[in-house]
Each structure stands twice: as C-alpha cells, then as structure tokens.
Structure 1
Amino acid sequence: MATPWDQAYKHIIPLDFNSVNSVPDSFVWSQSDVIQPDNGLFIPIIDLMDSNAPKLIVEACETWGVFQLKNHGVRTKIMEDIESEARKLFDLPIDQKLKAVRSPDGLSGYGIVPIQSLFSTFMWHEGLTLFGSAIDHAKALWPHDYQQFSDTIDEYQSQMKALAEKVTGILFRALSIPVEDLNWFDDPTNRSGCNLALQLNSYPPCPEPTRTLGLAPHTDTSIVTILQAKTSGLQVFKDGVGWIPVEPEPEAIIVNLGDFTHLLSNGRFISVLHRVVVKPIQRYSMGYFYRPPKDFVVSPLLSKDLGPGEVPRYRSIIAKEYHELKANCKHYEKAFSLIEN
C-alpha cells in the first residue's frame, strides 16, 4: 500500500536505472522526438581571449543562441573536481541519494529534473539542483565526509558566476543596457540578489537509447546558461535546419541563451531550443543558470538603443511572473506569445 510519503514524492524520485533492462513505457518518446540528426553543422567555437570575441559572441547569439567558449578563465582543476564530485554523488546507492531528496514544494535537492513537471513522458535523467550552498545536502549524503563536496560546489559556483557576468556584460553592452543601472549586476557583495542555480546532471547508460530522451526539448528561463560536459548528447534546434548535435570541444564550456535575454533584446538574440539524447554509456553534465532577481522587471525598454522605428515586441514582465507563467504546463511552449504587445 502506498504511503502518504510515497504519494508526495512519486513525481520527484527518479527511476532506479540499475534495476531495469529495458525502457519502461512511461519513458518512451515518439520516434520523431528521438530521431538522430546528421547534418554536419557545428555551433560556433569562440576564444574569449580573441580581441574579436565580443563581436563573435554577439553574432553567435543573433544566429544560434549558443556557442562554445575557449580560454574562458575557469580553472581546469575546478572543472575536473566538479565532475569527480558529480560522479561520487551519482554513484551512491539510490537509498543514500534519497537522503538529499528535495521536498515536494522545494527547489533544491536530489530528484527528477525540475522541468519534468511540464511533460507527461518521463526522461532518462537524475539530478541534484542547488540554489546557493550545498552544505546541507552534502551533510545528508556524507555525514562524516561532506566538506570536499561542499567546498568544490562553492568554488565552482563562484567561477561560473564570474564567467556568466563577463558574457552578460558583453550582451548588455551590445544592447546598450547600462549595467550601472542594475544594482545586482557584477556586485561581489550581492550574494542573494540573482536567482542563481547549479544543476548536476546524470544520464545513466540506457539499454534502448532510441526510445527515450535525457531531456525533452525546452528553452531555459535564464539570461545565460553555462554547461560543462565531456560527452556529446546535447542537441540544439536551428530554424530551417533541425536538430544539431553539440560535440564538446576539449576544455571549452558551452554557453546558451535563455528566455530573459531574448526578451531584453526584443527578440534580437535567440533563446535556443535544446534537448539531450541518451547513450549506452554514462554521461554527466553541470549546468549553471544565471538569472536576474525575482523582482527584476524584464523589458526591451531597458535597451537605450532600439532601432529606428522599432517598438517593443513584448510587454514588461517581472521575472517571477514569467517563471510562473512558463511553469504552467499549458503555457510553457507559448510563454513568449502570451506577453507579446
């Protein structure tokens, strides 16, 4: 008999992937959803140390909404350490990982990927979502040996935040958005202003990779999302072409734009639709979501340089309101259209 705990957590606890030899029916996506592209295209790879990097980043945001970034300033050691800690986490037995399970109404913790609530079919994925410090979750997972995980998470988030601010600064300057008017931007004393999140992802080996997805197609509710992954699996959608695999460049980081940048740019920059396909081998990734504070008013009018005769395509909206609008499973695919002028 199911207990109240079972009922409350049934949409949070991932499948015990080690216990199945085939993909359960509840995880089966249509073949049109899972079809593998072969179009020979590649997303831009940009060297941040190149003097032309700002121009190349802007061009990539206008035409792709995603790019890979080399010489990004994030130390190699912390990138190696975060992957090692992710492996340590996801290698734990399921009963141990559930000690850090997020609550039914919570945001942080272990469980099914948060966007699962928008889809009726399940995804081949487990993850740990973190807003701020990881110490409470680390203590739950490793009561006597938690410090290394917690310290690694803190250092990684610090370096990701610095990189996100560099990229956002380039984009805001291109849009003539004066960052000095934004009291949360690039302020080392402001630790709680931005709604920042780190997502550790595990895509376990799949016995039938062509029947399921690791992540369903979606756009991110962020300004920028920074992704670290050594193994391919991420795919981005380009109008007129279709799905394009992203082959990770060694030591590079993937940057994709989210919905807030699309709105702030009046549609000039692309909030890229993306998904993750699974493989017979294990895949890990780390996604850092850089978002404005919940009370920030997102508006194309922040730009001081709308083109001649250009009018705002979207009404102003509070970041929290947009989050709630998109989180409604009836609206997530048409959130932009609902705030068009």
Structure 2
Amino acid sequence: MPSITEDVSIGNLGSLQTLPDSFTWKFTSSDSAVEESVPVIDLFDPNVITLLGDACKTWGAFQISNHGIPQKLIDDVESLSKTLFDMSSERKLEAASSDKGVSGYGEPRMTPFFEKKMWCEGFTIADASYADHFLTLWPHDYTKYCGIIEEYKGEMEKLASRLLSWILSSLGVTVEDIEWAQNMSRGVIRLNHYPVCPEPERAMGLGAHTDSTILTILHQSNMGGLQVFREETGWVTVEPVPGALVINIGDLFHILSNGKIMSVVHRARVNQTRSRISIAYLWGGPAGDVEIKPISKIVGPVEPAIYRPVTWNEYLRIKYEVFEKSFDAIRVVNPTN
C-alpha cells in the first residue's frame, strides 16, 4: 500500500486504507445535505413542457422517467465502465489522455481549480481517438465496446434534442431561434468511477462546479453520491430512481435563456462501503468562433440582455481562468442603460 507521503496514483485509490493528505478536504456545517428531493418528471406526462420549465427555473436539475433509452444499453455502458476501472493502474494508464487531447483515462479535468485532489478516476470520450484507447485496453473486444459507445451516443443525442425543444418551448421559443443550433457539436461522454473511500466524510468525489454545455444527461449506479446546490436550502442529494436519468442544466443554456434557467452547481460525494459508477453525457455547443448570447426573442426593452455576446471559445477560456465566476465576467454592468 502506498504511504500517505507518496504520490498516489488515481488508479489505485480503492486499495488505500488511509486518506492521503492531498485528498483531505475541509468541510463546514453548510456542506451538509438537507432532506429534499429534486423533481422526477415522467416524459409521457401531458404537462411535460410546463414541468420541465418549472424544474429548470427552480432547480436547474431533475430526474426523468419514460425517457426511451433501452435499459440494456445503459447496463452495457455501466458494465463496460466497471470492466475498464477494474483493470490495473498500469493498464489504465496505457490509455491516458494526452496533454493536447481530451479523450482517454485520467483524473477530472477541473482538478487544477481545487487545492485538494478528488477521489475519482474517469475516462473521457470526446472524439474518434477513444477507439485507439479501446484497442489498447481491449485488443480482442474493442469493436464490441466501440459499438456500445456509438449506440449510446446516438440515443443520448436524440434525447438531448427532445429535452432542448421542450425546455425552449417553456420559454416561448424554438430551436430555430438559436442561429447555430443546426450545427451543434456532438456530446462528450465521461465515465466516472468513485472507489470505496476509507474516510468519506473528509473526501470529495468531484468538487462543486457547473457544466459548461447546454445540458448533461447522467446515469448513476444504484449507489447515490450526486448532490446539487439550491440557494434556498443548500446541498440536496439526488437519490437514484430505478430506470430514471438525471438532467443537469449547464452554463450555455443559462446564457441562452438570459438567466431564466439555472445552471446547477453540483458535486459528488463518496462512501466507505461500495464504489460508484456514473455515466455523464455532456451535450451542446457551437463551433469555437460562433457568438453565444441570450436568444433575441427573450430579450428586449423590458427585459434587456444581462450577458454580453462572447464566442464559445472565449467563454470556455473565461471559464478555465475564473471557473465559478464566469457569469460575472460576461455580465452586462447596467443592462437597462
């Protein structure tokens, strides 16, 4: 077992019996979760548009049932993830993401924004290069696993498009009112593994953050850990509902809606008894040089834009530089003037 003074490999976290100092977070009473639940919305409900709009405005997060994604496909991706993360640290590191690339194995990309490390390892699927990593990990089965991922990406993209259309309808606009919507980039899949932790009350699986894209569709295994922050009450644990998926609204949707829809702050906690898998599909974003701003039909003399136009690349750069203060950096100082 590595000593707590050694550089700990994320691939071996589950074998540690003592929490290293580099993974030890300090918590206050305000970090405790309250007894409350995010909305669970049946997509077959005749009032689905109203329900989605209300959840986006008051929570920025919700769970959906009757979403149409085959349970077998979700189970296959979860099984793929478990097989990957059960590999030795050395084997997983053979598929590590490069300094210039995104796809591959590694720690959370937001790690540099926090003083302490997170009790998490993951694999990102952002472009076609993931197939080369799969070939390294599964030389005999990589085509099967690539097929599972491609099917999952296709189903997630269709579901994300449906949700976008419905939520926009709750605001009185359509996808056609977003100039670049027809050339939306495809989503990114992030497979996350939160190993068993010897001192979960002092560790963090994933630090508090918002997603930069339009929305995230999340499957979490039957062991919960996701928490969302609500201004009125504080941290709320999103308990897994069998067959349901979690939706987190991201920064881009918040900007498009001129602040009407919340970009939800969320984090992941860990536990001492069972490891946890989550599968995140982060969807939506234009080309880097495309200008993003509040939808023109939403703003006007009565309700001016509260965010200035920025290119997508500029916003991502701002987010990388100031992290949780990115909205402040693009906010219009006196929108009524």
Query: What is the CA–CA distance in structure 2 between the aligned matches of 1:156 and 1:334, rounded to whole Å?
Result: 33
CA deviation vs aligned residue, 1:221-270 (integer Å, no higher than 9, x gap): 01000000122100011002110000011100000100011111111110
Identity %: 40
Paired residue for 2:214, among 210, 219, 223?
A: 223
Distance, in Å, in 1 between the alignment partners of 2:309 and 2:41 is 32
8 Å CA contact retained: 2:103, 2:127: no
Corresponding position of 2:125: 130
* 2:66 paired residue number: 71
- For 1:274, the equivalent position in structure 2 comes to 266
**CA separation in 2, counterparts of 1:266 and 1:304?**
10
Could you tell me whether the CA contact under 8 Å between 2:258 and 2:298 is conserved in 1?
no
* Partner Cα separation in structure 1 for residue 48 and residue 277 of structure 2: 28
Q: Is the 8 A contact 2:224 2:238 kept in 1?
A: yes
Corresponding position of 1:320: 313
Cα deviation, residue 99, structure 1: 1.3
Partner of 1:6: none
The Cα of 1:321 is off from its aligned counterpart by: 1.0
- Aligned residue identity for 2:108: V
8 A contact 2:225–2:268 mirrored in 1: yes
2:303 aligned partner: 310
Provide the C-alpha distance between the structure 2 equivalents of 1:20 and 1:238, rounded to a whole number of angstroms.
Answer: 33
Determine whether 1:292 maps to 2:285.
Answer: yes
Is 1:212 the equivalent of 2:208?
no
Provide the residue aligned with 1:163 in structure 2: 159
Residue 257 (1) aligns with residue 253 (2): no
Structure 2 length-normalised TM: 0.91
Residues 43-72 of structure 1: CA distance to partner in whole angstroms, max 9, x if unpaired? 000000111011100000000000000000
The equivalent of 1:3 in structure 2 is none
Contact 2:215/2:282, CA 8 A, preserved across alignment: yes
Q: What secondary structure sits across from 1:334 in the alignment?
A: helix
After superposition, where does 1:54-93 map in structure 2 within 5 Å? 54-93=49-88
State how far apart, in whole Å, the 2-side matches of 1:33 and 1:130 are: 36
Is 1:234 matched with 2:226?
Answer: yes
Q: Kindly indicate whether the alpha-carbon contact (under 8 Å) linking 1:132 and 1:196 is maintained by their aligned counterparts in 2.
A: no
Q: Deviations over 1:121-145 (max 9, x none)?
A: 1000000011134321110111122
C-alpha distance in structure 1 between counterparts of 2:186 and 2:319, whole Å: 16
- Corresponding residue SS for 2:303: coil
Structure 2 counterpart SS, 1:16: helix
Structure 1 Cα separation of the partners of residues 135 and 36 of structure 2: 44
Any unmatched runs of 5+ in structure 2?
Answer: 1-6, 333-337
For normalisation by structure 1, the TM-score amounts to: 0.89
User: In structure 1, how many angstroms separate the alpha carbons of the residues matched to 2:79 and 2:29?
Assistant: 32
Name the count of aligned residue pairs: 322
Distance of 2:38 and 2:204 partners within structure 1: 21
Asked if 1 retains the 8 angstrom alpha-carbon contact of 2:164 and 2:175, the reply is no
Q: CA deviation at 1:149?
A: 1.3
Answer yes or no: is 1:244 the counterpart of 2:243: no
Find 2:150's aligned residue among 137, 148, 154. 154
The 1:14–1:33 alpha-carbon spacing in structure 2 relative to 1, beyond 3 Å, is farther
Please give the root-mean-square deviation of Cα atoms over the aligned residues, in Å: 1.9
Q: Is the 8 A contact 1:35 1:210 kept in 2?
A: no
Residue 217 of structure 2 contacts residue 248 of structure 2 at CA under 8 Å; is this kept in 1? yes
Partners of 1:61 and 1:84 lie apart in 2 by 31
Match of 1:5 in 2: none
Matching residue of 1:4: none
Partner residue of 1:32? 28
Distance in 2, Cα, partners of 1:130 & 1:183: 27
Segments of 5+ residues of structure 1 without an aligned counterpart are: 1-9
CA–CA separation in structure 2 for the residues paired with 1:162 and 1:93: 35
Cα displacement string for residues 145-194 of structure 1 (whole angstroms, at most 9, x for unaligned residues): 21221111111111111111111111223334442355764x6xx6xx41
Contact 1:34–1:211, Cα closer than 8 Å, also in 2? no
